[in-house]
Amino acid sequence: MNPKGLAIILLFLSSHAFAQPAYQIKVTLKPFTSGYLYLAHHYGKKQYLIDSARINEKSEAVFSGKEKLFGGVYMIVFPQKNSWIECIIDKEQHFSVLADTANLFASTRFIGSNDNTLFAEYQKKSYDAGTSISSMQKQMAQAQPAEAEKLKASIQEKSTQLQQYRENFMKMHPDHLLTAIFYVLKDPVVPPANQHPKGKYDSLYAYQYYKSHYWDNISFTDERLVRTPVFQPKLDRYFNDVLPQYPDSLKLAAGEIIDASKSNPEMFKFLLSTLTDKYVNPTYMGQDAVFVYLFEKYYLTGQADSWMNEKYKKFIFDRGYSLMGNIIGNQGADFPFIDTSGKPSSLYVINGPYTIICFWDPTCSHCQEEVPKLDSLFQEKWKKKGVKLVGMMTEGGKEPWLKFIREHNLKDWVHVYQTQAMKDADYAAGKPGFRQLYDVYQTPMLYLLDKDKRIIAKKLSYQQMDDLLKVKLQATTALKLP
């Protein structure tokens, strides 16, 4: 063969090799003969469509792509998007699926994928056990006591058999994604009471054991878990129910888990973004300290730059800088202001056992309703205890502000505001304004500071402020008793 002919053949073979898709999933799904099938995957608690394929008259459709898919649990979604077939995608990314919607469990077969053959076997086993247990539970509701006990024993036996199936599977297939999923689903078993310290039940020991074994055999570098429906619920339960809801405990746990994932960019991204979203606007007051910790440790150091788009980055950095200065337990930032007489002053010259800052706007309808109620509590309860109330006008104009103060007789407050010149001076000097220092994004907004101007609580309602001050003032009084 001449060199030119050989070159053509080599070029053809090379082109043919490059043309092979990285993944190819052939689906035959009866009775559909038109429309599209969709390929989707789990991602935390959500599901995302990533591909579509037209169905031909033989009920066939083919998904293919030039880049390998991330490992995980995927779904072949029906044309109306009302049902799907689950499958595992891992190392085997060229396979076929045959199914009939008339009886999915009985008809679904996988060709060329041992991973999915094993997965389908488990799904059938689990479905059969679940159906049987559900039937027996219904029978128990109407059974006589003796029969109910037998049914209860049968249900326990079915559950044990399924658990044993899982245990055997994990031993036989240690690298299978299903094994990793089973470990996520597995709950730590606390040793019996006779194995606790001193041979009797110890609730603290039981809790510590459960917490320390919660993540046994679960790898934070196994990116396949991100695309399963079980990993994020496990993560949420850990941070919501297992850990003490103190910022320091949550920060320590978040840092340990995220750091353990650093060698896997996909898992690192998932864990950091999930915990960021959880604590940027937390359920409980003070837990935004966890977000600030994540912001300073990972975002400010550039460790998330590779996957953040500009919109998300701006949001994270805006929130980070806004929350850094008002973490509960830290000293509230001082800022200058002018009172109703035009006299300049600042927050730190106000002395009292407690200081309330009310950021408000006289033209805000919510403020117009809430501020007089706040004043009533101040006049009736707090003022006599030495509590100081600082009313900081955020906007609305000086004249409406003064008018509202006079009409509602808001006496003995420290009423203050900043002139535009003061705001401009801070901006020119690169200093953050009071809005950023105290994260004032809505009004009214209430902060409680102690005598040293440390932040005790923030963003409370006037009712919550009253409840908290009642406890604080009672404690202060008790400390003064001989």
> Any bridge partners for residue 26, and if so which?
62, 96
129 pLDDT more than 80: yes
- The answer on 296 and 209 residing in a single domain is yes
Does residue 331 fall inside a structural domain?
Answer: no
Domain boundary among 71, 93, 112: 112
Report the C-alpha gap between 8 and 11 in whole angstroms: 5
Domain boundary among 84, 112, 140: 112
- The answer on 340 and 473 residing in a single domain is yes
- The answer on 343 and 289 residing in a single domain is no
What is the pLDDT confidence band of residue 1, given thresholds at 50, 70 and 90?
Answer: low
Least confident of 252-266, 335-349, 441-455: 335-349
How do strand 336-339 and strand 344-346 relate by DSSP bridges? antiparallel
What is the pLDDT confidence band of residue 318, given thresholds at 50, 70 and 90?
Answer: very high
pLDDT value at residue 4: 57
Does residue 462 fall inside a structural domain?
Answer: yes
482 pLDDT more than 50: no
Stretch 8-35: mean pLDDT: 76
- The answer on 426 and 467 residing in a single domain is yes
pLDDT digits (tens, 9 = 90+) for 197-236: 989 999 999 999 999 999 999 999 999 999 999 999 999 9
- The answer on 355 and 294 residing in a single domain is no
- Of the chain, the percentage scoring pLDDT greater than 90 comes to 82
pLDDT value at residue 9: 52
Residues 337, 415 contacting (CB under 8 angstroms): no
pTM summary value? 0.86
End-to-end CA distance of the chain: 109
13 pLDDT more than 60: no
- The answer on 215 and 180 residing in a single domain is no
Closest CA to 238 of 198, 274, 273: 274
Mean pLDDT for the chain overall? 92
Domain count, the chain: 4
pLDDT value at residue 481: 45
- The answer on 137 and 94 residing in a single domain is no
Does residue 73 fall inside a structural domain?
Answer: yes
pLDDT digits (tens, 9 = 90+) for 419-430: 999 988 888 888
How do strand 94-100 and strand 23-30 relate by DSSP bridges? parallel
- The answer on 476 and 342 residing in a single domain is yes
Residue span of the structural domain in which 54 resides? 22-112
- The answer on 447 and 349 residing in a single domain is yes
Torsions phi, psi for 32 (to 5 deg): -65, 135
Report the C-alpha gap between 155 and 151 in whole angstroms: 6
pLDDT value at residue 267: 97
Closest CA to 428 of 420, 439, 436: 420
pLDDT value at residue 146: 87
- The answer on 212 and 170 residing in a single domain is no
CATH code, domain with 55: 2.60.40.1120
What is the pLDDT confidence band of residue 356, given thresholds at 50, 70 and 90?
Answer: very high
pLDDT digits (tens, 9 = 90+) for 37-55: 999 999 999 999 999 999 9
Does residue 10 fall inside a structural domain?
Answer: no
